[in-house]
Amino acid sequence: MTSAKSLQEYADLFRAFGLPPIAKDFTDDRAFAAMRIAGPNPVMLKRLKTLDERLKVTNEMFRIAAPKDSLNAALAEGRLYLADYALLDVAELGTYPNGQKYLYAPLALFVITGAKKELLPVAIQCKQKPAADNPIFTPNDGYNWLIAKTIVETADGNIHEASTHLGRTHLAMEAFVISSYRQFYDSHPLALLLWPHFEGTLAINSAAWKHLIADKGGVDKLMGGTINTSRQVTVNGVQSTRVMNDLLPLTFAQRGVDDREAFPNYPYRDDSLLYWDAIHKWVSAYLRLYYPNDAEIQRDSELQAWARELAADNGGRIKGLPNDGSFQRIEELIEVATFVIYTCSVQHAAVNFPQYDCMSYTPNTPLAGYRPAPTTKTGATEADFLAMLPTLDMAELQMDLGYLLGTVHYTELGQYRRHQFHDQRVAAPLQQFQKRLADIGQKIGERNLTRRPYETLSPSGIRQSINI
């Protein structure tokens, strides 16, 4: 239970494997902004149409980050984005295993600015409600600014692990796995398509319940809230999933980050959409072999039973399925199957594998704070920043888990077992899918030559299923 006296002590923990590159520049504002668009939880930014009354940023504050810009112009031109962690506002603070921990519910404002249309942080408020003891921090606030950014990363890490990762991939997909085994014969065409994408999911979820999210398990030790708080955030992630509203292109439009001219550099968006399109084309070509018209969809009793059980209150309780659990058109099935395969492969890769690259180095993303949020804008020192961070034993545990969960790779998207599909008609669309994946890999490689490298969604790193 030793507290670090320098950042070097956290780096020194990486004796058996390499120190992630994020350790070199995590204190830089550009690296902090990059975490929002190419980090482990790249789904939080929302475009502001009006200024948020909770965050009373002035033009003078704004110009500290963007001296050649103005707050009103950025708002009018749709260049302001907010990361809001209100979900954590009622979190019960944890104490296990080394005493009082803290979890925060900050608001973080960002702007797209300059000739390069760069994303930069503007202001951070560490609590939801404005107050005299809840100041707004800006980039000229020294160590208080670094502490405020770290508070955002702590909140982001808790939302990421419990909701974005565990809730919205592992557990949301578990319902599809179980219902598929219950309702489909092994030879059903949809089952043949989905089985490879379900491999290992129930096993890894069971291990998570027994070890990671058990009382006094890894989550209880590392996260800022109590284990019940973490579980509730997970439940919120599962229950907030709405299948037909959560189709990937819609999610970017809903958050106002879909305009590539206005928001040109968003690696997670740009790379993930390549895969969504490729998976959608593959799923469409495959399913249309077996469902040439809507009538075939409607008369497939196994398929309809699958949809009913997924939606049922005493079944999967999955929200947002077509017609509340009934497929009427081939397009509906294509969208749902694309959503499932994408979530099991690309989305899980996007939120799982940065656990090593971005989160194993604790100072970048401490999963708990060890001091309250600062209440004034002056006086913070490096010692105050270090005091916010987890003790070295917790940092070592976070490093170990991040390395384990973020580096184990098994299977690769599109590489199905030799006899997975017996129907010879499947060969051509599968070959096209595999070619598209190869082309995506080449395109991502080219993109990484002109942007901060984002290797997470390179094809070789995307698993078929949620198996770690």
- The whole-number pLDDT of residue 378 equals 87
Counted domains in the chain: 1
- The whole-number pLDDT of residue 304 equals 98
Q: Residue 137: inside a domain, yes or no?
A: no
* Sequence-distant (≥ 6) Cβ neighbours of residue 380 within 8 angstroms: 141, 142, 143, 144, 147, 374
Q: Residue 74: inside a domain, yes or no?
A: no
% helix / strand / coil in the chain, to the nearest 5?
55, 5, 40
CATH of the domain at 426: 1.20.245.10
Q: Residue 312: inside a domain, yes or no?
A: yes
Q: Residue 264: inside a domain, yes or no?
A: yes
Domain extent at residue 410 = 7-25+157-461
- The whole-number pLDDT of residue 379 equals 87
Q: Residue 290: inside a domain, yes or no?
A: yes
Q: Residue 375: inside a domain, yes or no?
A: yes
Decide: pTM greater than 0.95: yes
Q: Residue 98: inside a domain, yes or no?
A: no
Place of tokens 């993303």: 365
- As averages over each run of 10 residues, the pLDDT of the chain (468 residues) reads 95 95 98 98 98 98 98 98 97 97 98 97 98 98 98 98 98 98 97 98 96 96 98 97 98 98 97 98 98 98 98 97 98 98 98 98 98 95 98 98 94 95 97 98 98 96 96
* Sequence-distant (≥ 6) Cβ neighbours of residue 136 within 8 angstroms: 55, 56, 57, 61, 123, 124, 125, 130
Q: Residue 399: inside a domain, yes or no?
A: yes
- The whole-number pLDDT of residue 190 equals 98
Contact yes or no for 137/122 (Cβ under 8 A) = no
Contact yes or no for 265/451 (Cβ under 8 A) = yes
Structure tokens at 286: 């495959």
